[in-house]
Structures are given as structure tokens and as C-alpha cells.
Amino acid sequence: MDGCARKELYTHLTPIQRVNIARHPNRPTFLDHFVELHGDRAGYDDPAIVTGIGSIDGRRFMFMGHQKGRNTKENIQRNFGMPTPHGHRKVLRMMNYADHHGFPVVIFIDTPGAFADLKSEELGQGESIAQNLRTIFGLKVPVVSIVTGEGGSGGALAVVCANKLLMLENAVLYVASPEACAAILWKTAKASPKAAEKLKITANDTCKLQISDGIIPEPLGGAHADPHWTSQQVKKAILESMDELQEMGTEELLRQRMLKYRKIGRFQEGLPVDPEKKVNMKRKEEPRPGLISDKVLQGEVDKLKEQIMKAKELSSIDMDQNRLIEKLKREISYEFSEAAKALGIEEKLIRMREEFAKAENEQLTSVQIENLENLKNEFNENLALAPNYGSLKYKLSLLKEVTEAKIFAENYKKTHPLKAKVNEKFKEVLEKSTLKKKMENLKAEVEKAGVSTFEEFDQELKEKVLDIREEVEYEFVNALESFGVHVTSKFGQSSVSV
């Protein structure tokens, strides 16, 4: 590849291409620069992390960092740069040592993540990372971290919280690798280029987000193309950062380190969620059909009915029955499938579905209709013999209950506003002064007559009651028709329509 083509390629790298360069086996590693010190003083020396004291231009520093291998044999020896709790405790010992003797700390980060095997978890992987985080924030000496390759997950987190975080131009820093993120969000690792772009893991992205503090340039082709030149750039960045940090007093240094991480990220409270974002939020996946117990389903149905009754008392029903209905339908479909398997007619069903699929929109033949009816009859006749018939019957009864509750809620929502309006109009009619006066006079006559039932009234009193009733009905009908309700009356019975 000539110089122009190389320049064109390496000045327009995509995030996933930078991930691949960060993982290149020939990139400069930690052990290229100093002599190692060993041991965590707790029974083991983790080869994935190396530490030691070294100097740059006569200035002493405590160096520590991850170490990968350049081939399969070295990678196995170094555990692919993935530290165990022993490695994190080795770093912890050296940080305390540096703090005691006043050595500034330089950390090189290049790891896919902390080693996540059973033994590491038993030894306290999370606790060891947390201890490092707590300790590093209390160091009274300057701390500079440099991501030289990939800074992955907890392995990077344990050593990343420095006063200055620098990244090589093609290094990446992430909480989950692009492949893992793609597998989680898009169910395939093939979407890793898309994930790498969305994660914002490159040096440029982290600088814009104010996570990292600077970018160390690399030669065209990546750091492995010219390790010596890259090392000189790293040396220059370390000395410039240390010069700036060593001018600070102890309290200022600690405060600067704390504020650097306190300011990362922004949030706002009390703002409404964008409807489009809300719709696109990942929904909680429903359990696979057949795994939900009858007791859980019954509990959901009872809860829904209780909510409807409470809402009715408050004159407001706004329930979502559709979700539960869909869940019950899935459960019933599963039970029918299991019953078909148990009765030995599943293959017949599959063949019939295939025939219908081939027919598409064509009309079914008489033979197909007859076969369908025969299969339906065979299934219905033998359904009671299926081992899961009781469960199927129970779930069908639950579906019936929920469907009835849904119909009730829908009807109530439609009729309740009309009912309230009718009651309001009826009250207005009774409050009219002329009617009110006539009713009061009639009441006085009834009390004077000393009778309590309509049958005991004399003919004159009965006629007066019927006259007032007709007048009330007439006024009430006029009031209802004024807001779009048509009332028809027959033989003393009435019906109302909108």
C-alpha cells in the first residue's frame, strides 16, 4: 500500500476499524518499557497485570498496567490481558507503595475486561475492583492512565480513575465490547460495526464526552507500524501531564480527581419523555408460553377485576385488558398445541397448514373443507382425553372472564358520560319553578288526604298525579333532545338512542 492510499485509509477509520487496530497483536505493550515487579502478597502473581518502578528522563514513577501476548502461547500465559482479583490486588499493593514513597503513578490500560470465571468470582472480583476504585481516589500522588489498546469493562474500570486519562488515537474504551452489545441489542454479533458506532468508544468520542482528557497521536497504520515513534509520543504526553499535576497541592490534586468524574454525564429531571422514544423503548419480554403458572394467571385476572370495580366506584375506568387477553391467548394456543401432540394429530395439523399456505388466496376445495371438518371433529371428540385438558379448560374460563370484563369496561366508558348527562338534565327539569310549585302543591294534597299508596288515591288525585307525570316526561324529553338524545315512548315504556 502506497503512502497516499495508507493516509486516505487511516484518516477515515470507522469505530469498528479502530477496535480492530486496538486489538492488533503487534501494538506496543507494557513490558516493552521497564522491568517487572511481582506478587500481590496474598498468594499469587497474576501475569495479566505487571507493575514496577521505572524512570523517564531521570524522574521516577510507579508503572503498572495490563499485558497481552503477541501470539496464542503468550496470550494463554498472560490470560489474554484479563486480570483476576489477584491482579487487581497487586495493583492495590503497588498504589499504596507509590503513595507511601511519593512516586507518581502511570497506568497503561489494554484489556478486554476482568476475567469472569467461577474462581475469580469466588475470590471477589467485584470487591477487588471496588477496593481499587476507593483507593485510587484517595492517592496523594498524581495518577495518569493511558489506554494503549482496548479498555474493556471492569478490567479497565479498576485502574482508569486517574487525574488525567489519555488515549492513543486508535484506542477504545467501553463498558461492553461491540460484539457483546450487538448480541444483546440485535441478537447477533454481526451488528458489531453498528454497535461500535452507537457506543461512542473511540478516543475522539470519549474526548467530546469529557471522559478522556487527551489523544496521543499514532503513525499511519496504527501504533504497531512504528512502536518507537509511538513510545516517544506516550513519553511526551506523560511528562506534560505530570508537569501540570505536580504543580498542584495534595488537596487540589484530590479535588481535581474527584471533580473530573463527578462532572461526567448530564441528566435533566421533570422533562416529558419524547413519545417516539417512549414507543421505541425495549419492552419487557413475556415469559415463554407454558411457563406461567395457573396461579399467576388467576392472580392477574383477579387484580384486573379488582381494578375495574375500584375504577367503577370512582366513575372512571381506564384499564388495559388487551395485554392480559393476548397473554391468555398465547397460553391457550400453547395448550391446544400440547393437546394436539398428546392426541397424535399434530402432524395432520401441520400438513393441513402447509396445504392452506400453498393455496394462499384460492378458494378451498370440497375435499379440503371435508378434511378440515373431520380433523376438527376428531380433535373435539378426543380433547377431553388430553393430559392438559384441565389446564386448557381453566385458561379458557379465565379468557372468558377477562373478555367479559373488557366488554363491561368498554360499555361503562361509553354509557357513563351519557348517564351523568341524563341525570343532570333530569335534575334541571325538576328544578323548574312551575313544575316545582305544582309538585309541592300535589305533595300537600297527598299529605292532607292521609293516604300512602297510589291505589288509595281518589280519582281526582290520581288524575293530577298523571298530569304532572306527563308534564315532567314532556319537559324531560325536550331537554334530552336538545343535546342529541332521541327518546321514543310506547305503552308507558321508553327507549333512548343517540
Task: State mean pLDDT over 48-76.
Answer: 90
Let me know whether 255 and 364 are in one domain. no
- Whether 318 shows a pLDDT value over 60: the answer reads no
Task: Output the pLDDT for position 490.
Answer: 40
Residue 492's pLDDT is what?
43
pLDDT tens-digit readout, 338-357:
888 888 888 887 887 777 77
pLDDT digits (tens, 9 = 90+) for 166-184: 999 999 999 999 999 999 9
pLDDT tens string 375-387: 888 888 888 888 8
Q: Residue 498's pLDDT is what?
A: 32
Residues in the chain: 498
DSSP secondary structure letter of residue 265:
S
Structural domains in the chain (count): 3
User: What is the three-class DSSP state of 227?
Assistant: helix
Per the domain annotation, does 342 fall within a domain? yes
**Pairing relation of β-strands 493-497 and 486-490?**
antiparallel
Residue 493 above 50 pLDDT?
Answer: no
Is 304 within the bounds of a domain? no
pLDDT at 143: 96
Select, from the ranges 150-159, 259-268, 303-312, 428-437, the one with the highest average predicted confidence (pLDDT): 150-159
Higher pLDDT, 194 or 362: 194
The model's confidence at residue 472, banded by pLDDT at 50, 70 and 90, is confident
Whether residue 393 is found in the same domain as residue 444: no
- What would the grid cell of residue 100 be? 507511601
Q: What is the DSSP-derived secondary structure letter of residue 52?
A: E
d(Cα 202, Cα 193) in Å, to the nearest integer?
Answer: 13
Residue 489's identity, in one-letter code, is: S
Q: Are residues 68 and 138 in the same domain?
A: yes
Q: Please list, in sequence order, all residues whose beta carbon lies within 8 angstroms of the beta carbon of residue 340, skipping any fewer than 6 positions away.
A: 346, 349, 379
Is the CB of residue 328 less than 8 Å from the CB of residue 402?
Answer: yes
Q: Which domain holds residue 487?
A: 432-497
Share of the chain above pLDDT 90, in %: 32
Choose the weakest-confidence range: 54-58, 108-112, 316-320: 316-320
pTM, to two decimals: 0.53
Give the whole-angstrom CA distance, residue 377 versus residue 14.
62
Judgement on whether residues 93 and 236 belong to the same structural domain of the protein: yes
Backbone angles phi, psi at 415, to 5 degrees: -85, -25
Instruction: Say whether 65 sits in a helix, a strand or coil.
Output: strand
pLDDT at 416: 65
Long-range pairs of 314-317 with CB within 8 A, sequence gap ≥ 24: 315/416, 315/420, 317/409, 317/412, 317/413, 317/416
Establish if 280 belongs to a structural domain. Answer: no
Indicate whether 424 belongs to any domain: no
Does 249 share its domain with 153? yes
pLDDT attached to residue 455: 75
Does residue 101 contact residue 139 with C-beta atoms inside 8 Å? no
Identity of residue 437: K
Same domain, 335 and 465: no
Residue at 450 is within a domain = yes
392: Cβ contacts below 8 Å, ≥ 6 apart: 332, 335, 336, 339, 383, 386
Identify whether 274 is part of a domain. no
Q: Are residues 120 and 224 in the same domain?
A: yes
Does residue 77 have a pLDDT over 80?
Answer: yes
The C-alpha cell of 428 is what?
334541571
Residues 407-439, buried b or exposed e (16+ Cβ, 10 A)? eebeebeeeeeeeeebeebeeebeeeeeeeebe
Instruction: Give yes or no: residues 223 and 97 share one domain.
Output: yes
Q: Out of 96-105, 108-117, 285-294, which region has the weakest mean confidence (pLDDT)?
A: 285-294
**pLDDT over 70 (residue 205):** yes
Q: What is the spatial distance between Cα 87 and Cα 39, in angstroms, rounded to a whole number?
A: 8
For residue 132, what pLDDT band results from cuts at 50, 70 and 90?
very high
